Structure 1
Amino acid sequence: MLNVSSGFRKTTEAHPTVAGSKLKNNILFVSSGIPSLDYVVGGGLPTGGIFGVEEDVLGSYGRVLTKYFIAEGVVSNHHLFIASADHSPEETVKELPQPCVNPSNDRTSSNVNNEMKIAWRYESLGKVESSFDYESNFGHHFDLSKHIDVETVKKCRITYCDLRKCKNSNEDKSKHVFRNDLYYNLITKIENTLSNKEYDRDSNNKSILRISIHALGSPMWFSVDCDEEPLDCNAYGKDLIKFLYCLRRLIQDKNAVAFVTIPSHLFDDDHLMNRLLYSIDNAVRIESFSGSNKETNPVYSEYHGLFHLTKLSAMHSLVPFVPSSLDLAFKLKRKKFVIEKLHLPPELQDSSEREQDDITAIPKTCGGFRKKDIEF
């Protein structure tokens, strides 16, 4: 008698992985260079997608994330395409952090052996963990205090695109969709780079291309063609949206991932920013405390800013990944950039009494009383 199984065996197509990548949901993922960032976005950056970073006001932390992304590509021997209209790409690679072993977890709670200064009934409760404890062999750790040597960078396959040196195209603008020649020049260079068969997903000799575009849509992009006829804001926003759509179409079937930083604080148009986020697969926003009232607020003294997840897409899955906490903050230490769960202190030790204890209650009747005179 035959034994017929009521179930079925799940078969998956074999996809050989590339160095510095992992297979998840039948798609290759690469590391951003920051383990905590890889965790909060679902285990890394998926190939065939665009990862957007809304920069902080000063743009300093956005550049740090970009350097991590490029440094991870150098160590993993991935191919790199670096473009910028604000800074020289050649100068950026000279400041890449150096890989290191997993640094010791120097958490702020150094006084582990000290007793908790709260009611005895809460001493038995477990401690609140701020870090995500994302431990895996995926990706590398880097030391921001040291830089990768020049010889190591020269061995990598890097395509530099300094948009400040790009000349206006002599081609009739009616033949392409962009009003701004910088977008047309950049998307053409990316298309020519992706024409290599090694970036195809069905290629036998696979390679991964990391595309880094810094400060997309900054005033340096807006200044082009000003000597002829200035660009209006409407055409400027259309160029941004068209560029992201074209970029997404070029890499969606390739072993390539785009890391794009956007100075969204310069856009005084919420509708435009929503359309830009619609064109991006995953996006985060950096809110720095520098120059704001939160910088001197003792509540946020342990952090340098807030880290917002503005968009998480479901690529090759039914639902997107959701981290254990959406209240995130970041620290820029001497050697590393860390994203942690935001935990506010239970009570500040600057004052011995609560502020509301000093408030005097003045009734409307004749017999007055003060709040501190009331006894229970």
Structure 2
Amino acid sequence: MAFRKRNIALSRAPASTDATDPSSHLPAAAPPPPTLIPGVRPSPIDGRPTTSTGTPSLDGILAGHAGLPLGSSLLIEENGTTDYAGALLRFCAAEGVVQGQQVHVVGMGEVWGRELPGISEDHGGSSRRAGKERAEKMKIAWRYEGLGQFESSRGAPSPSRTAGQGDGAMEEVSIFCHTFDLAKRLTLPTGTAINYIAVPPSATASPSALPQILQSLQKQLASSPENTVHRLVIPSLLSPALYPASAANPSSILQFLHGLRALLRQYSTQLTAIITLPITLFPRSTGLVRWMEILSDGVFELSPFPYSHVQALAQSAGTTKDEDRPQGMFAVHKLPVFHEKGGGGGADDLGEDMAFTLSRRKFVIAKFSLPPLEGDTEAQEQAVREAAGGSAMPKKADLEF
């Protein structure tokens, strides 16, 4: 008795195909893989393309997208006369330059571009270590290796690695967010030019001053390839030192933000925007700023601590030598989630107080908690253990039955 396979499903050929044509019975060709754009990866929430802001801790709180979704904007508000928000903009612009993206800066000159932070020296070593760890975790177990050899011996295609493709080359392609050093300066690659969009001075300002910025940006978008990512950086929007007084009129600035929002939706896979606003001059209690927040996809607020408060935190008993002291509070008012499409997540911890710390090499956003009191010895020891990365030892009374 002859053996025959019984697990082969019978299928009927479509009516539109010609039975006499042998090519009609062949399987359909697989669609070509999507083009990989440097610095862009899909969101783990809904798969929309995202890019890094240049700050890993900021990427981690953007509604679970692990980056800034393309086609969205961020409005960063800052109290006082400090410029912590300007550091975030520099990290974002430097990340765009390193990834080969087009960066547009409004209201600043070439001096601002020459002050972009350079890549940290230990970034390459840390990325290589991380790449080796990922390679070790992704190794196939020995019993599955034999299965792969058995399939390849039967003629089935087996995955292979291209010769000469080392780990270093793969890591350079897979880097999503670089580590920058504010004490260094970024060397712009040859052929890379930052587009500086000037704001007309107050003496020659007209009601069309802000629309001219959108016209210049739209020309750049229309003339660039579809796989080019653009970053729009606007430092200190409506600042009297950069913008005429007429720009602060609601009919002018709201029309500008409406037009920018339309460009973001039109070029939803190419354009992102990050804007800073000095709310000391334009408080959040005014209707103008509230409408600006409505027209933005993400809204954050930086509230730096006074100098006396920073000194008190540094001298408190709960801090350790290597612990980074927070320099201000970080408030999240809105996240970049497209409500009409749903999605978004990872905002479970955003209800707690958060603080930011700016050091030479990083801008860190983390949970904020007050240090223990001077007389609370038990809480002080617990804080020291947590800062050292160890766990609290159980007491003798807890071990006794």
1:295 Cα deviation after fit: 3.8
What's 2:194 paired with? 158
Asked if 1:343 is matched to 2:351, the reply is no
SS of residue in 2 equivalent to 1:348: coil
Q: Is the 8 Å Cα contact of residues 182 and 221 (structure 1) preserved in structure 2?
A: no
1:187-234 Cα deviation digits (max 9, x unpaired): 221122122251xxxx4xx1101111111112235535xxxxxx4x9x
Find out whether 1:267 has 2:282 as its counterpart: yes
Residue equivalent to 2:54: 33
What does residue 110 of structure 2 align with? 90
CA drift at 1:334: 2.5
> Contact 1:56–1:288 at 8 Å: present in 2 too?
yes
- In the TM superposition, residue 71 of structure 1 has moved relative to its aligned partner by 0.4
In structure 1, the residue corresponding to 2:272 is in which secondary structure? strand
Aligned match of 2:179: 141
Q: Does 1:63 align with 2:86?
A: yes
* Inter-partner Cα distance in structure 2 for 1:14 and 1:282: 32
| 2:131 counterpart residue number | none
- Match for residue 320 of structure 1? 344
> CA shift at 1:344, angstroms?
2.1
Q: 1:357 maps to which residue?
A: none
Moved more, 136-145 or 182-191: 136-145
SS at 1:207 equivalent? coil
Q: Specify the alignment match of 2:40 in structure 1.
A: 21
- Of structures 1 and 2, the larger Rg is shown by 2
Query: Residues of 1 paired with 2:240 and 2:109: CA distance?
Result: 18
Aligned residue for 1:131? none
The 3-state SS of whatever aligns with 2:249 is: helix
**Corresponding residue SS for 2:75:** strand
Contact 1:93 1:153 in 2 (8 A): no
Aligned-pair distance for 1:271? 2.1
Is 2:237 the counterpart of 1:216?
A: yes
SS in 2 for 1:244: helix
1:208 partner letter: V
Contact 1:99 1:141 in 2 (8 A): yes
- Contact 1:144–1:334 at 8 Å: present in 2 too? yes
1:287/1:146 CA distance change after superposition, 3 Å: same
Shift of 1:262: 1.3
Aligned AA (2:86): R
The aligned counterpart of 2:253 is 240
Residues 78 and 157 in structure 1, CA contact (< 8 A), matched pair in contact too: no
* Alpha carbons of structure 1 residues 343 and 212: separation in structure 2 relative to 1, 3 Å: same
- How far apart in 2 are the matches of 1:13 and 1:56? 50
Letter of the 2:84 partner, please give it.
Answer: Y
Q: TM-score, normalised by structure 1?
A: 0.67
Please tell me whether the aligned partners of residues 357 and 365 of structure 2 are also in contact (alpha carbons under 8 angstroms).
yes
**Contact 1:31 / 1:38 at 8 angstroms: preserved in 2?**
yes
**Contact 2:305 2:328 survives alignment (8 Å):** yes
Report if aligned partners of 1:17, 1:23 keep a CA contact under 8 Å in 2: no
Give the direction of change, closer, same or farther, for the CA distance of 1:144–1:239 in structure 2 (3 Å limit).
same
1:47-69 CA distance string (max 9 Å, x none): 11111111232241011011000
Q: CA deviation at 1:282?
A: 1.2
Q: CA deviation at 1:167?
A: 7.6
Say if 2:69 and 2:336, in contact at 8 Å, map to a contact too.
no
TM-score of the superposition, structure 2-length normalised? 0.63
Unaligned 5+ residue runs, structure 1? Answer: 5-10, 106-135, 170-178, 225-230, 353-376
Cα shift at 1:340 = 1.5
Cα pair distance change 1:137/1:283, threshold 3 Å = same
Q: Is residue 305–residue 330 contact of structure 1 (8 Å, CA) maintained in 2?
A: yes
Q: Is the 8 A contact 1:168 1:182 kept in 2?
A: no
Answering whether residue 357 of structure 2 is matched by residue 331 of structure 1, we say: yes
Q: In structure 2, how many angstroms separate the alpha carbons of the residues matched to 1:103 and 1:14?
A: 29
Q: Secondary structure at the match of 1:303?
A: coil
Q: Kindly provide the amino acid, as one letter, of the partner of residue 322 in structure 1.
A: G
Could you tell me which of 275, 278, 287 is aligned with 2:294? Answer: 278
CA 288–350 in structure 1, closer or farther in 2 if over 3 Å, else same: farther
Deviation of the 1:313 alpha carbon: 3.1
Which amino acid in structure 1 is aligned with residue 177 of structure 2? G
CA distance in 2, matches of 1:197, 1:256: 12
Instruction: Determine the C-alpha separation between the residues in 2 that align with 1:242 and 1:20.
Output: 31
State the one-letter code of the partner of 1:328: M
Deviation at 1:3, TM superposition (A): 9.4
Query: Identity rate of aligned residues, in percent?
Result: 25
Matches within 5 A, 1:175-324: 180-198=207-225, 203=226, 206-220=227-241, 223-224=244-245, 231=246, 236-254=249-267, 255-268=270-283, 269-290=285-306, 294-298=309-313, 302-315=325-338, 317-324=341-348
Q: Distance in 1 between matches of 2:113 and 2:294?
A: 30
Structure 1 residues 7-60: Cα deviation after superposition (integer angstroms, max 9, x where no partner)? xxxx99964331111122342211011111110113111111111111232241
Instruction: Name the CA distance, whole Å, in 2 between partners of 1:328 and 1:259.
Output: 20
Distance 2:202 2:233 in 1: 17
| Equivalent position amino acid for 2:302 in 1 | I
| Deviations 1:298-324, CA, capped at 9 Å, x for gaps | 379821011111111323852432335
Equivalences, count: 288
One-letter amino acid matched to 1:28:
P
